[in-house]
Structure 1
Amino acid sequence: MDEMTLLNRRRDEVPPPTDLSAARDRLLTEIRRTPDARPRRAVRLGALVSAAGLAAAVAVAATQLGGATEEGEPPVSAAAVLENAALVAERTKATTVRPDQWFYMKESQPVDSLPVYEHWSRMDGAMTALRGSDGELKVSESEKGPTNSAKTLREIEALPGDPDAMLRHFYRLKRERAALSICEPECPPGSERDRRAYGAIQWYLKYGPIIPPDTAATMFRAMAKIPGVTIEENVATAEGRPGLAVVLDLGEAGKGYTILDPRTYRYLGVKSVRGGHSMAMSVLDSGIVDRPGETP
């Protein structure tokens, strides 16, 4: 089996805002209504907002919400952390992508024959390219499945702009889409909708460079609304990068981890743990380039 066939089979499986008051108030509201976050945190953050503006508040909140908690303090909630991720996403500069450009991604995966691979997808959906283990760049017609770049971009652009509406959209998906399955084939009854929504957001977040900032923010807010989602700090990716994990815990059936950079909230990778065994995949680099073989 050649490497392009192996990759396709694996795929089948598996400017700044001028008014900062609304974003500031939303962040403060999320933190203040969090039952397990101490009130003094909101007061401290509020003082920073009034003194130095939202940019400083986001930087400090990224440290307090995404980094290690002070000794004896309970962890902050997923709602607070993901609201801060949404605020950071909203302030990210949007990227304009031409149809003749290519989306590049370098990933690690649990496949011995191709543990790290680089692939390029032309944004009009016509062509794809893969650098094999021998270093050779192989260009071919693009598949029409879920990893087709044009199809993925159309899906992202069609997503609802409201977190509740986006969550309902993912709940209605016909099949589960995730970078790694959490519990298949023995998943807890009644977990279907939450798995479907969590997996779909996880899947789309890996395409960060082509996601509009407001859509990425809505994804984070929708993820926070999935029942049972929690935050775990200092979770390492497959290659050992420390991250902040958004976790869907299905008990003995397994746990799914979506690992983000603890300061920028950029997608780093995923991990699935079940019965003491784990599998992981990481995005090592990604971006938009002008031709296959180029890197960002």
Structure 2
Amino acid sequence: MDDLKILGEMRADAPTPDADRLGGVRRRVIRDGRRFALMPSMLIAAVAAVLVVAIALPMSRSTPEVPSTPPVRTVLLNSETVLEKAAKTVEKRSLAPEPRADQWVYTKSLDRQPSDGKTTVQEGWTRYDGKQTAGRDREGVFRISDVPPDPNDDDLSPQQYREKLLKLPTDPDKLLAHVQGDRHWIDYPKEEAQSGEDPDSRAYRILSLYLGQQAVMPPKLEAAIFRAMAKIPGVGIEQGVRDAAGRTGLGLFRPTKGEEGRRRYLILDPRTYRAMADQTIWLRDELINGEVAFRKGAVFADAELASGIVDKPGQVP
């Protein structure tokens, strides 16, 4: 079973360990795959930003048993209390200096597929100005690739992303109002009327995306994001959620209509409140075309293992 095709309706840019994937590390730097897709049903069908893929699922009489994430007892916390504590913690950070245009953003991640539990570790580098990416292809050859300008691509380079973040309001109410109407993060503007994404869902999706940008995140804005999150109905936090790398953290989530059989978490470090992983856990068996596609306990994950700024591709922090 081809996990990437099956997950096309959830996250069509699920990573593959090759030069094309590493050439798209720029998309990871702006986190999530083009949009950090904690989205409503239409956008989860398009998910993680511009993510629609028409798929034809193979019929199968048997589904392999999937090693699920080892059970951990989670505790539902008071989200307002936790988010305010997070805001008070992060606003004490100092603003990180801006990298030079010719420096590189390094990322290392662990990706896990839900149908067989297979995990892969990815490393990639992207120039801060977005003009080049680097990584190893399937044969292990290290390659540096140019990224030509694309007027139809609304993704942002790390440099452009920082510029956007610095312009956002740091008052929680103003920030919430801004993201509820920010058309930049509408995946299909021409189909907005049919998307069905309400303002609260869009706000949660965009703020979750922003929380994946701590490498360039202004502390006052990060604090405002947590406080704005606390104002969105339905946001929950579970303590003790384990990511695909075996780490436990705070699982931030918001139930999505039509997706009750699985839960998508943004997992935060319980001490620093930095994002550790984007992870979906199946709460029950999921049937597609009458066949079990994903077992209860299956995990689809993108866990960040390391990141930082370096002077040239191939270096690690």
Query: Where on the TM-score scale, by shorter chain, does this alignment land: which range?
Result: 0.5 to 0.7
Q: Report the 3-state secondary structure (helix = DSSP H, G, I; strand = E; otherwise coil) of the residue aligned with 1:92.
A: coil
Alpha-carbon distance in structure 1 between the residues aligned to 2:156 and 2:134: 12
Alpha-carbon distance in structure 2 between the residues aligned to 1:264 and 1:230: 18
Structure with the largest fraction of helix: 1
Where in structure 1 do 4 or more consecutive aligned residues deviate above 6 Å? Answer: 111-114
The answer to whether residue 95 in structure 2 is matched with residue 94 in structure 1 is yes
Amino acid at match of 1:104: Y
Superposed CA deviations along residues 48-100 of structure 1, whole A, max 9, x for unmatched, are xxxxxxxxxxxxxxxxxxxx87xxxxx54211111111111111222102323
CA contact (8 A) 2:23 2:134 kept: no
The answer to whether residue 173 in structure 2 is matched with residue 164 in structure 1 is yes
Residue 251 of structure 1 deviates from its aligned partner by 5.3
Residue 262 of structure 1 deviates from its aligned partner by 1.0
Q: For 1:259, which of 267, 271, 275 is the aligned residue? A: 267
Pick closer, same or farther for the CA change 1:108–1:196 going to 2, 3 Å: farther
Amino acid at match of 1:294: Q
Q: Report the 3-state secondary structure (helix = DSSP H, G, I; strand = E; otherwise coil) of the residue aligned with 2:306.
A: strand
Partner of 1:84: 85
Structure 2, unmatched stretches of 5+, are 1-15, 28-32, 36-73, 188-194, 285-293
Alpha-carbon distance in structure 1 between the residues aligned to 2:127 and 2:34: 22
CA contact (8 A) 1:114 1:133 kept: no
Alpha-carbon distance in structure 1 between the residues aligned to 2:135 and 2:108: 10
Superposed CA deviations along residues 195-221 of structure 1, whole A, max 9, x for unmatched, are 322222222222212111111111111
Alpha-carbon distance in structure 2 between the residues aligned to 1:174 and 1:245: 27
Q: Report the 3-state secondary structure (helix = DSSP H, G, I; strand = E; otherwise coil) of the residue aligned with 1:249.
A: coil
Residue 108 of structure 1 deviates from its aligned partner by 2.1
Partner of 1:224: 230
Superposed CA deviations along residues 152-180 of structure 1, whole A, max 9, x for unmatched, are 222212211111111122211336579xx
Residue 114 of structure 1 deviates from its aligned partner by 8.6
Q: For 1:214, which of 217, 220, 224 is the aligned residue? A: 220
Amino acid at match of 1:282: A
Partner of 2:64: none
Pick closer, same or farther for the CA change 1:87–1:200 going to 2, 3 Å: same
Amino acid at match of 1:115: T
Partner of 1:125: 130
Pick closer, same or farther for the CA change 1:168–1:264 going to 2, 3 Å: same
Q: For 1:5, which of 20, 24, 44 is the aligned residue? A: 20
Q: For 1:241, which of 241, 244, 247 is the aligned residue? A: 247
CA RMSD of aligned residues (A): 3.3
Pick closer, same or farther for the CA change 1:285–1:6 going to 2, 3 Å: closer
Q: Report the 3-state secondary structure (helix = DSSP H, G, I; strand = E; otherwise coil) of the residue aligned with 1:225.
A: coil
Greater relative CO (CA pairs within 8 A, separation 6+) = 2
Q: TM-score, normalised by structure 1?
A: 0.67
Residue 240 of structure 1 deviates from its aligned partner by 1.5
Partner of 2:147: 142
Amino acid at match of 1:260: L
Alpha-carbon distance in structure 2 between the residues aligned to 1:230 and 1:137: 42
Pick closer, same or farther for the CA change 1:7–1:289 going to 2, 3 Å: closer
CA contact (8 A) 1:103 1:289 kept: yes
More displaced 10-residue stretch of structure 1: 120-129 or 190-199: 190-199
Q: TM-score, normalised by structure 2?
A: 0.63
Amino acid at match of 1:83: E
Alpha-carbon distance in structure 1 between the residues aligned to 2:103 and 2:162: 13
Structure 1, unmatched stretches of 5+, are 15-67, 70-74, 179-188
Amino acid at match of 2:121: V
Residue 273 of structure 1 deviates from its aligned partner by 3.8
Partner of 1:272: 280
Residue 9 of structure 1 deviates from its aligned partner by 7.0
Alpha-carbon distance in structure 2 between the residues aligned to 1:2 and 1:253: 28
Aligned residues: 230
